Structure 1
Amino acid sequence: MDPLSVISGTIGIAGAAIQTITVLVNEISAIKNAPENMKRVRSELSVVESLLRDISQGLQDSRLSSIPNDVKSTLQKAIFSCKDACDQFRAKLQKWTRHSGSKMDWRDRARVGLFSESAIQDLNSQLHISIDIMGAVIGAGAVFSISQAGKQSGRMPAETRNKLQSMESKLSQGIQDTDKRVRNVSMELESLSRSSQSRSEADRQAWLEEFQKLQNQLTALGQSREIRKSLYGKSRHLQSVQKFSNIHSDETGQLMVGIFGTDPNPRVYQDFRNITATRSGRGMIGVIGGHVDVNEFFSRKVE
């Protein structure tokens, strides 16, 4: 997909999600004497809204330009899933509070107490995954921008490399944690599927809602893993890429370009352009292992 289309699409869905969350936060805030769990939801929503604004602004002012295109595409889907979860919760909230005006009616308070806990827990799960995803993208964007700016000089500073490695460690741990959650949710889903035949017709709707909730969690966790894996790969690439161009060795020159004395060879991406030598000039380029005798090579007579 065209990068500009991905960016504009992500900004658009982020804007729509911000609108949905703003309305939902205002509706919760307008309920006086609302239960504590509702107030906690409002707090989580405010965090998500702030991150969405950072994402949108970062895409517009190029702070997130170094984020891979596939991450932006997956991020767009994750934001849409978050918006959808908020829309569904808002519909339930309006149903629960239909008797209330500026102050929560006792009948609605009882209804919220009875039925909202599960729905709030479901929304919080989705919000936490969204917070993790957006936080990872924003953090990676900042580190990638610094690293790419540093490499303009031809060499990555040690401080920048340390930041990338620290980020990689967090991304790797995040992938492991996500895999564990995926296994747990998958087991819940499998158990729920086995119990479908024993459900009465009256319980069928509740079963379907629980099944859909678990499916949504699996989708969101999959998006989280995909984004972290791509960010990890981008970080590894930044640390192992080398670019060389317009280098010449004259008749008495000895050319050495690349990585030397490494055994076994590391994973490295190298880009060589316009590397030249005269007939009697000589050189080594690429990744040269420690078993190569460089002095012996350069001491040979040219035939």
Structure 2
Amino acid sequence: MDPFSTTAGVVGIVAPTLHCVRLLIEDLQNIAAAPDAVTVLTNDLQSAGLALASVQAVTDSQWKSLGGAVTAQSEAAITSCKTSCERFKTSLDRWTRHSTDGTLSWRDRATLGVFRQSHIKSMSEQLQNCNITLTSVASIATLHSSLQQTQAAEEIQKMISAKETAVNDAITGTDDQSAEVGAKLEALTLAELDEGETEADQISATKQVAMEKKALGESRKVFEGLLAAIQTASANVQAGQGTTITFGSSNSGQQVGVNSGTIRATFGGRR
């Protein structure tokens, strides 16, 4: 896997995704008397925007340290977020087509049926998952710089252990959420239209929940890659007995310095 092409890919998708998020936030903020679920969604979009900005700040060298696999998986997760935002905006335009005087209204607020509620909730949950995933990527990428500094092995190991625990928790949470989304997707296929809803609402809600499930799978792959990177770094700290850790440019394995006691540990995915 070419690290240069994967880095360019993830960097290239962040800006248009941020643009989609910001446009959707503007639309939602213009809705008069919006349901609470829309306010929650707006907050989730703002959090996702901050997570995207943190990923945008990751340097090329940090992406290379994470490895081509994690970089490609991160790109897939961001792309799913962008696709969902675009689809939701299309649905929102349909739901608010009765707007007047330049201000969006929620004419169907009293008849926000099962499919529209499911669509909004699923969109929020996907954004929350995207936020956790991208924040984890940015946080562990920053570890690249931290581990290049001379520190005691105990301090380094404590830092790495905290990251490992966080990623393991994220994997468990992703698995639990994926099971819940699978059940929700099955329930939607059996649900009937509520008053005021259309078949288009049913289709868009089902597609959004299916996208949420797909995004959870992509996030899990990101977490697996991050966990492998953390475990490699941890093993090298233990073997180094307090020596300084730097990063190599490879995508797998490890390099051991000669006579100096310095270990160069690749903080990237395995092939």
Same fold? TM cut 0.5: yes
- Cα gap change, 1:208 to 1:25, in 2 (>3 Å): closer
Say yes or no: does 1:50 pair with 2:50: yes
**CA-to-partner distance for each residue in 1:27-68, whole Å, 9 max, x for gaps?**
2223343333322222211111121122112135x4544322
Distance 1:99 1:53 in 2: 34
Partner in structure 1 of residue 268 of structure 2: none
Where do 5+ consecutive residues of structure 1 fail to align? 243-256, 260-268, 276-303
- Cα gap change, 1:205 to 1:91, in 2 (>3 Å): closer
2:162 corresponds, among 146, 166, 189, to 166
Distance 1:121 1:90 in 2: 14
Partner in structure 2 of residue 230 of structure 1: 225
Distance 2:11 2:206 in 1: 31
Partner in structure 2 of residue 184 of structure 1: 180
Q: Which amino acid aligns with 1:58?
A: V
Higher relative contact order (CA 8 A, sep 6+): 2
The 5-angstrom pairing of residues 32-71 of structure 1 reads 32-59=32-59, 62-71=61-70
Q: Answer yes or no: is the 8 Å Cα contact 2:84–2:211 preserved in 1.
A: no
Q: Which amino acid aligns with 1:74?
A: Q
**CA-to-partner distance for each residue in 1:93-139, whole Å, 9 max, x for gaps?**
1111122133344xx43257525422211210110110110111111
Partner in structure 2 of residue 5 of structure 1: 5
TM-score, length of structure 1 as denominator length: 0.68
Q: Which amino acid aligns with 1:88?
A: R
Deviation at residue 212 of structure 1 after TM alignment: 3.0
- Cα gap change, 1:112 to 1:46, in 2 (>3 Å): farther
Where do 5+ consecutive residues of structure 2 fail to align? 242-252, 260-271
Q: How many positions carry a matched residue from both structures?
A: 241
Q: Answer yes or no: is the 8 Å Cα contact 1:41–1:124 preserved in 2.
A: yes
Partner in structure 2 of residue 114 of structure 1: 112
**CA-to-partner distance for each residue in 1:74-102, whole Å, 9 max, x for gaps?**
11011111011111111111111122133
Identity, in percent, stands at: 23
TM-score, length of structure 2 as denominator length: 0.75
Q: Answer yes or no: is the 8 Å Cα contact 1:68–1:231 preserved in 2.
A: no
- Cα gap change, 1:41 to 1:112, in 2 (>3 Å): farther
Distance 2:27 2:258 in 1: 64
Q: Answer yes or no: is the 8 Å Cα contact 1:85–1:123 preserved in 2.
A: yes
Q: Answer yes or no: is the 8 Å Cα contact 1:14–1:52 preserved in 2.
A: yes
- Cα gap change, 1:82 to 1:96, in 2 (>3 Å): same
Q: Which amino acid aligns with 1:6?
A: T
Partner in structure 2 of residue 131 of structure 1: 131
Indicate the SS of the match to 1:241: helix
Distance 1:181 1:5 in 2: 32
Partner in structure 2 of residue 140 of structure 1: 140
